Structure 1
Amino acid sequence: MTRSKVLVVTGTGTEIGKTVTTAAVAAAAVRAGRSVAVLKPAQTGVAPGEPGDADEVVRLAGGAVTPVELGRYPEPLAPGTAARRAGLAPVRPGQIAEAAEKLAASHDLVLVEGAGGLLVHFDAEGATLADAARLLSAPVLVVARAGLGTLNSVQLTAEALRARGLAQAGVVIGSWPRRPGLAERCNVGDLPGVAGAPLLGAVPEGAGGLDAQAFRTRAAQWLAPGLGGSWDAAEFARQEG
């Protein structure tokens, strides 16, 4: 498993399985005896008192995971826009880095789950999750879609990471369909090339709907050894090809 104490999790867009993937990484780490915290810098589209993404990670991965949320905004918008419209202070990259470093002092692994993609704005000045990752010198895990169009999105994200001198841990397919089509099957082989980084897992479609015990038992099967699991990219490609 990655030995960095902080792992930043981003996506190539929204609704692609980023939170469930974060939960799977957390579950695998907890199962291996590691203490885990999940940091959600900016939660949007959730009212006060409602469970957010960090709470969902805890529900799926287990109560041993420490959840931290820095900012919450009611409208389902980019964090910077949502903060401005709500008249609330935005979350800054320095705050994210400070919170992650504090958690890393008392946990074996800190997962920082972004909102949407890598370059979504957190404030009016255009600060992004990439800025926080740079302050932390942390690797970035990219969660991607399985189907048509994902190669372009993954390559753009990879180029943005390289341009900023950030390390990409790898790519995880956030929702692998029960009946993959030709595009999905071909993408398994093509994703590492366009990413310039390994394919580190494929979370099955509907995994977030499993009961918590089943999720925790199976999570490591969806992730490669680099993320604490037993998933084998070559074997997966042979089975799905």
Structure 2
Amino acid sequence: MRTMIVSGTGTDVGKTVVTAAVAALAAEAGDRVVVLKPAQTGIGPGEPGDLAEVTRLAGPHVATRELARYPEPLAPATAARRSGLPPLRVADITTAVAEIEAAGADLLVVEGAGGLLVRLNDDGETLADVAAALGAPVLVVASAGLGVLNTAALTAEALAGRGLTHLGQVVGAYPEEPDLAERTNLADLPAVTGAPLLGVLPGGLGDADPRRFLTTARCGLHPVLGGQWVPPLP
């Protein structure tokens, strides 16, 4: 089973859309795909969360699994502490991954909450620890605008310092009329991170119907991720 971790340079950068896009392309190619959301925050019991969005966009052939849910929109460690619910641990995630692999999945996409070093619990475990435990590469979803070069470089440095594989980065919500920073960031992101740009998806893609979503995903993601996108020349 191939496993990929999806993290971000921050919150609201398009991680769920990118996760759904990777899953949709893999499912179209015939893979048995599972999307795992270890911790969902800011959503109450019974309410649709990120995995409902993945299902809507990628289709019912992509299986999903959520391990922990906390009602307040906070880091998982803080949300668990405040709710009185059990915190999520790396061991919980590795156990779930083993079960998913035993069930016969071809591709597992693990979508994190926020950035790479957001705490899962008060012991300080993070998504980086999950990546290390699974030996899985990390795909970083980046915002488009001013300030992303710093957060992307810090994320790349954290990955390198832990000996983790930085698969590359995808800009998760690129505006229709980009400003100067958004245009130049496409060339600068690989330079400051040392990792390739593997796609650019347009803002608002989460509102697309499944057919348009799949077509846009194919046009917006690199062949490494199952698409046909070609990086712009420097």
TM value normalised by structure 2: 0.97
Q: Which amino acid aligns with 2:82?
A: R
Match of 1:49 among 46, 51, 60: 46
* Aligned twin of 2:29: 32
TM-fit CA distance, 1:97: 1.8
* Aligned twin of 1:218: 216
Q: Are 2:108 and 1:95 aligned?
A: no
Matched ranges for 1:191-206 at <5 A: 191-206=189-204
Q: Which moved more, 1:101-110 or 1:201-210?
A: 101-110
**Rounded Cα–Cα distance in structure 2 between residues aligned with 1:201 and 1:74:** 32
* Aligned twin of 2:177: 179
Q: Which amino acid aligns with 2:101?
A: A
Match of 1:10 among 7, 12, 23: 7
**Rounded Cα–Cα distance in structure 1 between residues aligned with 2:87 and 2:123:** 10
Contact 1:7–1:140 at 8 Å: present in 2 too?
A: yes
Match of 1:20 among 17, 21, 30: 17
Residues 16-67 of structure 1: CA deviation (Å, up to 9, x unaligned)? 1010010011111111111110000000000110111112111100101111
Residues 110-145 of structure 1: CA deviation (Å, up to 9, x unaligned)? 000000000000101111000011000000000001
Q: How many residues are aligned here? A: 233
**Rounded Cα–Cα distance in structure 1 between residues aligned with 2:194 and 2:99:** 31
TM-fit CA distance, 1:212: 1.9
User: What value does the CA root-mean-square deviation take over the aligned residues?
Assistant: 1.1
TM-fit CA distance, 1:94: 1.4
**Rounded Cα–Cα distance in structure 2 between residues aligned with 1:25 and 1:100:** 18
* Aligned twin of 2:106: 108
**Rounded Cα–Cα distance in structure 2 between residues aligned with 1:31 and 1:74:** 34
* Aligned twin of 1:69: 66
TM-fit CA distance, 1:234: 2.3
Query: Which secondary structure state, in structure 2, belongs to the residue aligned with residue 234 of structure 1?
Result: coil
**Rounded Cα–Cα distance in structure 2 between residues aligned with 1:200 and 1:102:** 30
Contact 1:6–1:111 at 8 Å: present in 2 too?
A: yes
Query: Which secondary structure state, in structure 2, belongs to the residue aligned with residue 9 of structure 1?
Result: strand
* Aligned twin of 1:138: 136
**Rounded Cα–Cα distance in structure 2 between residues aligned with 1:80 and 1:55:** 23
Query: Which secondary structure state, in structure 2, belongs to the residue aligned with residue 184 of structure 1?
Result: helix
**Rounded Cα–Cα distance in structure 2 between residues aligned with 1:30 and 1:219:** 12
Contact 1:44–1:77 at 8 Å: present in 2 too?
A: yes
Contact 2:201–2:216 at 8 Å: present in 1 too?
A: no
TM-fit CA distance, 1:216: 2.0
Residues 180-223 of structure 1: CA deviation (Å, up to 9, x unaligned)? 11111111111111111110001101000111222123211110
Q: Which amino acid aligns with 1:26?
A: A
**Rounded Cα–Cα distance in structure 2 between residues aligned with 1:49 and 1:22:** 22
Query: Which secondary structure state, in structure 1, belongs to the residue aligned with residue 65 of structure 2?
Result: strand
Residues 133-166 of structure 1: CA deviation (Å, up to 9, x unaligned)? 1000000000001111000000000000011110
Structure 2 unmatched runs, 5+: none
Q: Which amino acid aligns with 1:234?
A: P
Matched ranges for 1:163-174 at <5 A: 163-174=161-172
Residues 214-235 of structure 1: CA deviation (Å, up to 9, x unaligned)? 2123211110011010000026
Q: Which amino acid aligns with 1:166?
A: L
**Rounded Cα–Cα distance in structure 2 between residues aligned with 1:220 and 1:92:** 34
**Rounded Cα–Cα distance in structure 2 between residues aligned with 1:123 and 1:223:** 33
Q: Which moved more, 1:99-108 or 1:65-74?
A: 99-108
